[in-house]
């Protein structure tokens, strides 16, 4: 039952994500030839040149790309990618069929680029959260990486997206269009990362002090947190040292600083940003055996 609910949730998010992406494409991006990379961006360029609807181009390019991915890379991209590809094209067609999109057009291209990037990033982020993709440059990058292993998938994706962005400016005969597309692409990536990774940022404290034991006890007593003792050796002195490693949420940073200072105001402390923390006291609790 748990697995069924998890799968159902994934496909609800996939459906919602592709619906949001379709709205971004039809309302904010395609009318202005703003092409923020990927197959959908290429579809916008082709629409400008040949008038082919972007939902058709999305399928025509992604289906053979998906088949090539299955042959070259195996099944790792799976059914979710196929589902997202078809639902995205389906929602684009629904928008064109039932909504008078021209009534929603903006006069400001910068606003279109910004909001297109935000809405598109939200949709893609929801798709990525499920472990799916909509095909496009990530799949193309993975395929090309097989033949050009000296280039990372991220670099190949960037090259593909850059070519599409430049193409948008060429077909629209405006250099500004390429610049607006870059703005939209940048915002899209940032929003998608935010949706996938959330706000689960934390701070890692590396504490070097002869009073490490007292500091550790104060952390447990005053903050209901724990710490890990790491063995180390000073390079210059050769003396063995015990280092405390402690990870806290952003709201606890000031409290931990005060706890350390109250015990040893001469302690050497290094604070690092931790992108994501999973485990007891953070995102999930460990399973009980």
Do both 71 and 139 map to the same domain? Answer: yes
Taking phi over 0 as left and psi of -120 to 50 as alpha, with beta for the rest, 33 belongs to left
pLDDT of res. 129? 82
Band of the pLDDT at 289, cuts 50, 70, 90?
very low
CA-nearest of 140, 138, 151, 235 to 196 is 138
Band of the pLDDT at 285, cuts 50, 70, 90?
very low
Do both 82 and 148 map to the same domain? Answer: yes
Q: What's the chain's length in residues? A: 289
pLDDT of res. 93? 92
pLDDT digits (tens, 9 = 90+) for 33-67: 999 888 999 999 999 999 999 999 999 998 888 88
The answer to whether residue 151 sits within a structural domain is yes
Mean pLDDT of 130-145: 76
Residue 253 belongs to domain with CATH number: 3.30.70.120
pLDDT of res. 164? 92
Mean pLDDT of 81-108: 81
pLDDT of res. 37? 85
Domain final residue pick, 197, 226, 252: 197
Find how far residue 261's CA is from the centre of its chain: 37
Handedness of CA 156, 159, 165, 167 (dihedral sign): negative
pLDDT of res. 74? 66
Domain final residue pick, 197, 227, 262: 197
Band of the pLDDT at 288, cuts 50, 70, 90?
very low
Task: Specify which residues 247 forms β-bridges with.
Answer: 204
The answer to whether residue 288 sits within a structural domain is no
Mean pLDDT of 184-213: 85
Do both 96 and 144 map to the same domain? Answer: yes
Angle at 221 between CA 253 and CA 283, to 5 degrees: 50
Mean pLDDT of 209-213: 92
The answer to whether residue 262 sits within a structural domain is yes
The answer to whether residue 56 sits within a structural domain is yes
CB-based contact 24:119 (threshold 8 Å): yes
Would you give the DSSP letter of residue 280?
T
Q: What is the mean pLDDT of the chain?
A: 85
The answer to whether residue 86 sits within a structural domain is yes
Do both 224 and 181 map to the same domain? Answer: no
Domain final residue pick, 178, 197, 216: 197
Do both 185 and 206 map to the same domain? Answer: no
Do both 14 and 131 map to the same domain? Answer: yes
CB-based contact 55:93 (threshold 8 Å): yes
Report the domain count for the chain: 2
CB-based contact 184:31 (threshold 8 Å): no
Whole-number Å distance between alpha carbons of 202 and 193: 16
Q: Show the tokens assigned to 145.
A: 């990486």
CA-nearest of 103, 98, 92 to 20 is 92
Name the strand (E) or helix (H) holding 10.
Answer: helix 2-23
Do both 192 and 209 map to the same domain? Answer: no
The answer to whether residue 282 sits within a structural domain is no
What range defines the domain where residue 225 resides? 202-274
The answer to whether residue 122 sits within a structural domain is yes
Task: Specify which residues 206 forms β-bridges with.
Answer: 245, 270
Q: What is the phi/psi pair of residue 74, to 5°?
A: 90, -160
Do both 47 and 149 map to the same domain? Answer: yes
Do both 22 and 143 map to the same domain? Answer: yes
Q: Show the tokens assigned to 106.
A: 């903006």
Do both 249 and 157 map to the same domain? Answer: no
pTM over 0.85: no
Do both 84 and 206 map to the same domain? Answer: no
In terms of pLDDT, which residue wins out, 251 or 154? Answer: 251
Do both 188 and 82 map to the same domain? Answer: yes
């Amino acid at each position: 039952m748990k697995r069924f609910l998890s799968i159902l949730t994934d496909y609800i998010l996939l459906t919602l994500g592709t619906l949001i992406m379709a709205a971004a494409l039809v309302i904010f991006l395609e009318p202005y030839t703003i092409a923020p990379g990927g197959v959908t961006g290429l579809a916008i360029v082709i629409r400008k040149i040949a008038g082919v609807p972007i939902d058709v181009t999305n399928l025509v390019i992604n289906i053979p790309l998906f088949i090539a991915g299955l042959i070259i890379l195996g099944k790792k991209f799976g059914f979710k990618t196929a589902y997202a590809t078809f639902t995205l094209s389906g929602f684009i067609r629904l928008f064109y069929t039932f909504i008078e999109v021209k009534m929603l057009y903006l006069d400001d291209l910068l606003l279109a680029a910004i909001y297109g990037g935000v809405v598109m990033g939200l949709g893609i982020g929801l798709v990525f959260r499920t472990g799916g993709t909509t095909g496009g440059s990530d799949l193309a990058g993975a395929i090309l990486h097989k033949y050009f292993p000296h280039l990372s998938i991220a670099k190949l994706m960037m090259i593909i997206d850059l070519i599409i962005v430049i193409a948008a400016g060429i077909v629209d005969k405006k250099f500004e269009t390429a610049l607006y597309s870059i703005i939209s692409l940048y915002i899209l990536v940032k929003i998608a990362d935010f949706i996938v990774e959330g706000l689960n940022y934390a701070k890692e404290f590396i504490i070097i002090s002869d009073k490490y034991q007292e500091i550790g006890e104060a952390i447990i007593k005053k903050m209901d947190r724990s710490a890990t003792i790491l063995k180390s050796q000073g390079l210059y002195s050769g003396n063995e040292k015990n280092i405390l490693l402690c990870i806290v949420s952003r709201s606890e940073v000031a409290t931990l600083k005060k706890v350390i200072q109250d015990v040893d105001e001469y302690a050497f402390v290094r604070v690092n940003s931790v992108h994501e923390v999973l485990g007891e006291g953070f995102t999930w609790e460990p399973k009980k055996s």
